[in-house]
Amino acid sequence: MSTIETIIIVGAGQAGASAILELRGNQYTGKIILVGDESHLPYERPPLSKDVILKPEATKIEILSEAKLAELGVEVIRNNGVVKLNAEAKTVTLKNGDVLAYDKLLLATGGAARRLPNFDALGQQVYTLRNLEDSQALVPVLQPKRRIVLIGGGVIGLELASSARFKDCQVTVIEMGPMVMGRSSPQLLSEFLLAQQRQAGVDVRLNTQISDCRLDGEDVVITLADGEELRADAVIYGIGIVPNAQLAVDAGLAVDFAIQVNENCQSSDPDIYAAGDVATQLRADGQYRRVETWENANLQAGIFARHVMGVAHPQANPAWFWTDQLEINYQFVGDMQAAQWHVRGEMDAILGSACSCVLFGVTDGVVVGGITINAAKEMRHLKKMISKQQPFDAEKHLDLVQDLRKIA
């Protein structure tokens, strides 16, 4: 591996940090340069919608400290992102004009909030959430009795609704689709999530279109398609992300919505890799798919590092992610589009945070997906069942007397 003298990682987020740890863990001894356009060292993003808002002083989100990066022998460039990638010359140009050469390059540039220009034009009462500054800006906004409208009923929208209710705000969620978390959860769980939010006092509007928005003094006035007007002290929207793939587009790499990479996370240029939210990866079924999770950023960073070092990839685990809402922990693994869902335990929306149960997703008689509600210790058993393609036996899997560890 002596021919790989310099690896540049563009993007100082979860994937970039994981790539550094994986490279050094696999005995890469060459030069690593980490380039970020933020002023911060790599930090965790999942807490931005929760603990950073609720417990800003007590929440530590840094992944790699300055001392750790120095110990790992990483050259860190902050506040000075890459503005140009020359694949032929194998160089990147930084914002300040510096040009750096690489042998291997990882693009881990993440994504930006998909914009709503009409709302952006209103000014300071409108917010999105993608980085630490965005989260910190919401701390003074989410104050008791303030009217908060959240646009988008996905994971971020529901987590922010939970945080806002904890701060005793009046909260309305506007969702265009028929379900909350419709892209990432089955109907059964979506209905449970909706019941939790409504019980907590969140006004959730499904199948709701917005026709206009304007300022009236300090109020944001939102006009719905049916003519109803909602007034808010602040609006926060989260309607998905746009991958930060422009560097790859300009460099002539293969890009659909994101940077297309193969099973080794290589782009159409074999010396340029991509990982995390910016990458759409070729999967075993021959389709390209992009996965927006903390786990996927780590997995792809590991694939990149091992491929660079000529180390075999371990067998892929089923996809996993989690969300914390209204003091309830939900964990998801495998296929959320399973044909049937079966509940082990009592899935009682009235119990709220006291509820604890496991959901099995079954297709063609096989366990293909799983969800835990306040039952995180069971997640490892679900992962094992899915990996083994275990046949589903309702009598056994749904019997609370049976230990899932012994069934898996």
Residues 118-174 pLDDT 10s: 999 999 899 999 999 999 999 999 999 999 999 999 999 999 999 999 999 999 999
Give the pLDDT score at 352: 78
Is the pLDDT at 317 greater than 60? The verdict is yes
Is the pLDDT at 2 greater than 70? The verdict is no
Give domain 327-407's CATH superfamily. Answer: FAD/NAD-linked reductase, C-terminal dimerisation domain (3.30.390.30)
Q: How confident is the model at residue 308 (pLDDT cuts 50, 70, 90)?
A: very high
Q: How confident is the model at residue 1 (pLDDT cuts 50, 70, 90)?
A: very low
Each domain of the chain, given as residue ranges in start order, spans 6-112+241-309, 115-237, 327-407
Give the pLDDT score at 11: 97
Give the pLDDT score at 299: 96
What is the phi/psi pair of residue 350, to 5°? Answer: -65, -35
Identify whether the C-beta of residue 274 lies closer than 8 Å to the C-beta of residue 108.
yes
Residue 99: how many CB atoms within 10 A of its CB?
11
Say yes or no: do domains 115-237 and 327-407 share a fold. Answer: no
Is domain 115-237 classified as CATH 3.40.50.300? Answer: no
CATH placement of domain 6-112+241-309: 3.50.50.60
Give the pLDDT score at 314: 81
State the average pLDDT over residues 237-261. 97
Residues 332-342 pLDDT 10s: 999 999 999 99
Helix/strand/coil for 131? coil
pLDDT > 70 fraction of the chain, expressed in percent and rounded? 100
Q: How high is the mean pLDDT of the chain? A: 96
Q: What is the pTM of this model?
A: 0.95
List the helix and strand counts (H, then E) for the chain: 12, 26
**Which CA distances in Å does 75 have to 33, 98, 177, 213, 247?**
5, 14, 45, 46, 21
Residues 29-71 pLDDT 10s: 999 999 999 999 999 999 999 999 999 999 999 999 999 999 9
Q: How confident is the model at residue 306 (pLDDT cuts 50, 70, 90)?
A: very high
Give the pLDDT score at 353: 82
Q: How confident is the model at residue 285 (pLDDT cuts 50, 70, 90)?
A: confident
What is the phi/psi pair of residue 95, to 5°? Answer: -55, -35
**Which CA distances in Å does 237 have to 127, 206, 297?**
7, 15, 23
Residues 324-379 pLDDT 10s: 999 999 999 999 999 999 999 999 878 778 899 999 999 999 999 999 999 999 99
The whole-angstrom separation of Cα 198 and Cα 325 is 12
What's the residue count for the chain? 408
